[in-house]
Amino acid sequence: MDTAPAAVLADRAAYVEAVEQVRVAAAAYYGDGTSALDDDAFDRLMRGIALYEEAHPGDAVAESPTGQVAAGAVAGGDVVHTIPMLSLDNIFDHDGLLRWGTGLARRLGREPQGFHVGPKIDGLAVAAYYTDGKLTRLVTRGNGTTGEDVSHAIGTVDGLPDTLNEPVSAEVRGEIVLTTEQFDQANRIRAQYGEPVFSNPRNAAAGSLRATGRAYTIPLSCYAYTLLPGPDAPDNDAFAGRTHSELVDTLGRLGVRTVADTPVGTRTLRDLDAARDYIDTVAAQRDALPLGIDGVVVKADHPDDQHDAGAGSRAPRWAVAYKFPAVEKTTRILDVTWATGRTGFLAPRAQLAPVDIAGVTVAYATLHSPGMITKLDLRTGDTVTVRRAGDVIPYIVGPVVALRTGEEAPIELPDRCPACGGEIDRAQERWRCLQGRACDLSRSVEYAVGRDQFDIEGLGPKIVERLVADGAVADIADLFTLTREQLVAATGSEKNTDKILANITAAKDRPLSRVFCALGVRGTGRSMSRRIARHFGTMTAIQDTDTDGLQQVEGIGPEKAAMLLAELAELAPVIAKLAAAGVNQTEPGPPNSSDPDADTPAAPLAGMTVVATGSMTGPLADLSRNAVNELIERAGGRAGSSVSKTTGLLVAGANAGSKKSKAESLGITVVSPEEFAEMVGAYLG
């Protein structure tokens, strides 16, 4: 996990300016949820300020944010928090966690009696007051000492019931967020009412919690993380002596949704080594979660440890936030360009002022469709929230409307296809060249003859272009009925033509996964094609299925299933031509699978995720990465692309780099390509 370096503040002037920047940004962030500084930049400045103050204690200014909750930026409200709502100190890597643990043990004079770990929800803190089991008041964190009464929002927050399962008086503290689904819904509602969309779920939560008098309601969610005795509770020690884990359990029993109800759940752990595993697992799942989290909160679980560790003015010493690198940043749209893809769809792309997101410089983001541009009311020059999560292409979440200067320009939508200049079909949300796949047929054919598809050597881009220009190839199936004359005309060589004809004949026997991949079905690449082919076994079975059937394949949801069906219908004539030309339409199953009673040897990689890296050698030397992945899957394994705790085996070829060292550090078995070939050779025959 990378740690962004602290900002280097060279002198007092730089220090004072940094204090001011943080205060302005924090005021915006905790105020209406907009901030010109993203999380990383904010954290870097905060750490720079703290380092400067450590080195020059005499220079520290009174308004410094280092000792204050919410960077001292928020005006309090009318409601006093009897127990202050503190912030948390941040750490950014495992070393930081170990240092925090050592410091805590030193302070306690003993090892803490266990830890509680849970996701750090990226939203806004609230205190919900229950009197005799009834939700009576909702208060924001404010400046930690006093908050704002937002009781008008009661009834709009999923997870905070109006009535608890028991008539207790208590204060529930938790985080208000919009789930991904709620965020999409919120922006649909805003667009309907002609209001600017929210730039991210956090802004949406901040704005909606405070808003009164809106003609519509934005549904919110709460995930509670702790329970305190209510200020008017007769027995003020109601929850005293309970561990943090017990408090979270109690919340659940009372009917409140808690951090334990997120898909990553919470854990009670003996030591910080186990916390490390949990943190890695949460980090790996983060992108797939239905709500935003920005780290893991690690807490001493036992009340004695909490009591003895105590708290500073800003944060408790018994808890710490392990922050993940930000996957969202703000930057500016410099320009928008349009291109037509292989399948004829128009793809708008935003050129961005380059921004580092979790260690990768992002200079472009996809805009998906003209509909998205209008729905988000995006303009050139806008400051936007950009998200880069996992392997997904960076995309724009929304504009930060509050930062508009008036200089922004509307994004022009094209009136002709950017590739061929022809008409555009605007019937669907995503616009398409009226010629569809034929708009750039050469590219489709080049893709189809590629190494991981039909693998027809000798059919280079120039020859393909010529065949298309001559009218010899009008779709990819025509490749298999090319005549010698047509090929000689395109290549100018009898000898090459002989070779190509032999390669075309060989290509008819490719497994279904490759034939399917060659079709260039929108939304499917090599690994999805393998999954589909393996699942259905034959092209006919794929064509005969419906959206439910397609959704049985891992990674296909309802939207993708519908799109695939439309694609399959469009490609039906080509598929029929391929079959007529004798191109294979079936996927070879595992050995002996045709005879269920046979004594089938167990697949050597059954249930195991296997990653291949480096250049393959020995018997695998000539195989592409895709072909190695095919072998892994035929031997019952799952082909992975990155190494994590769930990886079972790494095949490390020559010059294997960081994946090999990561696997070794995680204790994952590493084998050479030769050893791997031996493992699967006997099984695959």
Minimum separation from the CB atom of position 384 to ligand IVH (A)? 25
User: In terms of CB distance, is 225 or 431 closer to ligand IVH?
Assistant: 225
User: In terms of CB distance, is 248 or 336 closer to ligand IVH?
Assistant: 248
User: In terms of CB distance, is 200 or 647 closer to ligand IVH?
Assistant: 200
User: In terms of CB distance, is 46 or 650 closer to ligand IVH?
Assistant: 46
Give Cα separations from 37 to 24, 33, 334, 489 (angstroms). 9, 11, 18, 61
Contact 427, 436 (CB under 8 A): no
Of residues 659, 610, 660, 607, the one with CA closest to residue 632: 610
Instruction: Name the residue with tokens 């997101």.
Output: 357
Q: How many residues does the chain have?
A: 685
Residue nearest to ligand IVH according to CB distances in the complex: 125
Minimum separation from the CB atom of position 607 to ligand IVH (A)? 33
Catalytic residue among 120, 329, 659, 660, which? 120
Of residues 503, 504, 525, the one with CA closest to residue 514: 525
Minimum separation from the CB atom of position 407 to ligand IVH (A)? 35
What single letter denotes the amino acid at residue 166? Answer: E
Residues 6+ apart with CB under 8 A from 188: none
Residues 6+ apart with CB under 8 A from 598: 592
Minimum separation from the CB atom of position 258 to ligand IVH (A)? 9
Minimum separation from the CB atom of position 362 to ligand IVH (A)? 25
Contact 533, 511 (CB under 8 A): yes
Minimum separation from the CB atom of position 131 to ligand IVH (A)? 23
Minimum separation from the CB atom of position 143 to ligand IVH (A)? 12
Binding site for ligand IVH (CB under 6 A): 86-88, 118, 120-121, 125, 175, 225, 259, 297, 316, 319, 321
Give the Cβ contact number of residue 461 at 10 Å.
Answer: 12
User: In terms of CB distance, is 145 or 669 closer to ligand IVH?
Assistant: 145
Q: Is 120 a catalytic residue?
A: yes
DSSP state of 654: B
Of residues 173, 141, 150, 146, the one with CA closest to residue 77: 146
User: In terms of CB distance, is 71 or 476 closer to ligand IVH?
Assistant: 71
Q: Residue ranges of the alpha helices (H) in 493-525?
A: 494-507, 512-518
Query: For the chain, how many helices (H) and strands (E)?
Result: 21, 25
DSSP state of 623: -
Structure tokens of 130? 């229950």
DSSP string, 78-106: SEE-SS-----EEE-SHHHHHHHHHHHHH
How far apart CA 283 and CA 589 sit, in angstroms, is 35
Residues 6+ apart with CB under 8 A from 60: 53, 66
How far apart CA 40 and CA 356 sit, in angstroms, is 10
User: In terms of CB distance, is 88 or 532 closer to ligand IVH?
Assistant: 88
Structure tokens of 503? 């390669």
User: In terms of CB distance, is 248 or 355 closer to ligand IVH?
Assistant: 248
Q: Are strands 157-158 and 395-399 parallel, antiparallel or unpaired?
A: unpaired
Minimum separation from the CB atom of position 119 to ligand IVH (A)? 6
Minimum separation from the CB atom of position 28 to ligand IVH (A)? 17
- Range 8-34 burial, b when 16+ CB lie within 10 A, else e: ebeeeeebbebbebbbebbbbbbeebb
Supply the Cα-derived Rg of the chain in whole angstroms.
30
Minimum separation from the CB atom of position 205 to ligand IVH (A)? 12
Give the Cβ contact number of residue 202 at 10 Å.
Answer: 25
User: In terms of CB distance, is 283 or 321 closer to ligand IVH?
Assistant: 321
User: In terms of CB distance, is 129 or 536 closer to ligand IVH?
Assistant: 129
Contact 513, 537 (CB under 8 A): no
User: In terms of CB distance, is 259 or 670 closer to ligand IVH?
Assistant: 259
Minimum separation from the CB atom of position 140 to ligand IVH (A)? 10
Residues 6+ apart with CB under 8 A from 70: 26, 30, 87, 141, 142, 143, 144
- Range 153-186 burial, b when 16+ CB lie within 10 A, else e: beebbebbbeebeeebbbbbbbbbbbbeebbeeb
- For residue 93, how far is the Cα from the chain centroid? 20
Give the Cβ contact number of residue 371 at 10 Å.
Answer: 14
Q: Which residues are catalytic?
A: 120
